[in-house]
């Protein structure tokens, strides 16, 4: 498994901390999922109270602060610097939103912010698209992890561009990659891992399920199953049928 800035995750599951019915449900969902990483928002955590912050720290997972809601490089850089002081980590999930409806990243602001944050000693996890040119610019800026979207945030549509994601994965074999955003079903997580990605990150699909704890477990198991399938070496697709039963021993009438 590829490492994340020197850290090897115990499971390929990353989970967000927003939109749950209650803090206790969020805590139970994390435990059920077996997630290794929790994404946290500076804006939300600062107003959530010490009890909630203590609960998040008590999960025993790696914290990945994000710059959610930032629409410019300057705003994202400032938020990242504040998050580093508040959460005491150099990890930052970099989001620079460029489109209000799709929440698609702004590629120009994203690269600008990534360059500045990498130079400032941050370990940057950029939320990006499956665009290879943008990926190249982010890697050149110093990013050793990429987080391409599966589909727009919160849409639940799964992996919209299988070819693009597969091509991106093949183009950067040494870069850790996480499918971030758009996953709605556990099967989407398994599919992402089967494509060779290193982890999945989701929030809404678990937090807004009728039973978030059960859904969290389903996603955790699906991500691990997909990872195991990828390392096991899946069979290739064929154009024609191939019988699994040999002809030897068949009765000829």
How far, rounded to the nearest angstrom, does the alpha carbon of residue 202 sit from its chain's CA centroid?
Answer: 6
Local structure of 169: helix, strand or coil:
helix
Angle at 149 between CA 144 and CA 153, to 5 degrees: 130
Calpha distance 222→12 (Å, rounded): 10
Residue 218 in tokens: 């389903």
* Residues whose CB is less than 8 angstroms from the CB of residue 87 and which lie 6 or more positions away in sequence, other chains included: 40, 42, 45, 63, 65
* Nearest residue to 152 via CA among 140, 160, 162: 160
204 is annotated as contributing to ligand binding: yes
123 is in an annotated binding site: no
How far apart CA 71 and CA 75 sit, in angstroms, is 7
Helices 23-33 and 50-57, axial angle in degrees (round to 10): 10
Q: 64 with 14: CB under 8 angstroms?
A: yes
Which residue of the set 93, 137, 144, 188 is catalytic? 93
Sign of CA dihedral 206, 211, 214, 218: negative
Q: Is 161 annotated as a binding residue?
A: no
DSSP structure class, residue 235: P
- Active-site residue flag, 250: no
Residue 181 known to bind ligand:
yes
Binding-site positions: 154, 181-182, 203-204
Residue positions annotated with a catalytic role? 93
Binding-site positions for 1-deoxy-D-xylulose 5-phosphate: 154, 181-182, 203-204
């Amino acid at each position: 498994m590829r490492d994340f800035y020197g850290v090897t995750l115990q499971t390929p599951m990353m989970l967000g901390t927003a939109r749950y019915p209650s803090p206790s449900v969020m805590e139970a969902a994390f435990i059920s999922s077996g997630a290794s990483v929790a994404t946290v928002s500076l804006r939300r955590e600062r107003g959530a109270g010490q009890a909630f912050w203590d609960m998040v720290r008590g999960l025993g997972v790696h914290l990945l602060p994000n710059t959610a809601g930032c629409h410019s490089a300057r705003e994202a850089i400032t938020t990242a610097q504040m998050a580093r002081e508040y959460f005491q980590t150099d990890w930052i999930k970099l989001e620079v939103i460029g489109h209000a409806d799709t929440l698609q990243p702004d590629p120009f602001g994203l690269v600008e912010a990534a360059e500045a944050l990498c130079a400032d000693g941050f370990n940057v996890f950029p939320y990006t698209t499956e665009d290879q040119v943008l990926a190249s610019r982010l890697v050149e800026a110093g990013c050793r992890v990429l987080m391409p979207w599966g589909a727009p945030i919160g849409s639940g549509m799964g992996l919209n561009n299988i070819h693009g994601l597969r091509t991106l994965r093949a183009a950067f074999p040494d870069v850790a990659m996480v499918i971030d955003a758009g996953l709605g079903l556990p099967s989407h997580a398994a599919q992402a891992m089967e494509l060779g990605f290193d982890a999945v990150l989701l929030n809404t699909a678990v937090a807004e399920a009728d039973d978030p704890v059960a859904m969290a477990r389903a996603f955790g198991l699906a991500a691990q199953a997909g990872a195991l399938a990828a390392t096991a070496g899946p069979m290739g697709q064929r154009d024609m049928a191939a019988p699994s039963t040999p002809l030897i021993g068949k009765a000829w009438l």
